[in-house]
Amino acid sequence: MGPSTVIVKLGADGSVVLHEGEIYEIDSVKVKAVDSVCAGDVFAGALAVNYSQHRNFLNAVNFANKAAAIKVSRIGNHDAFPTLADMG
C-alpha cells in the first residue's frame, strides 16, 4: 500500500526520488535565486508535461528541476514561468 513513486524536493540541494523501488539523488540546477514564488507549481507542471510526452520519469524530474530553476532566477509570478523555448 502507498505510493510507488515519491519526490522529496530539497531546494538548492536537489531532490530524492523513490521510483520503481529504486532511490535516486537528483542534483539541482544551480542559479542565483531571486524569487521562489510559484517554483513548486512550475516544477509540478513541467514534470507532468514532460512525463506525459516522453514517459521517462527521471528525465521528467530533471526537466522539472531546470524549469523551476529558471523560474526562481526571475522575479514575478506567471510572467516569470519558463516557456519551452527557454528550456532549450
Catalytic (active-site) positions = 41
For residue 22, what is the enclosing H or E element?
A: strand 22-26
For residue 75, what is the enclosing H or E element?
A: none
Task: Show the cell assigned to 75.
Answer: 522575479
Residues 59, 73 contacting (CB under 8 angstroms)? no
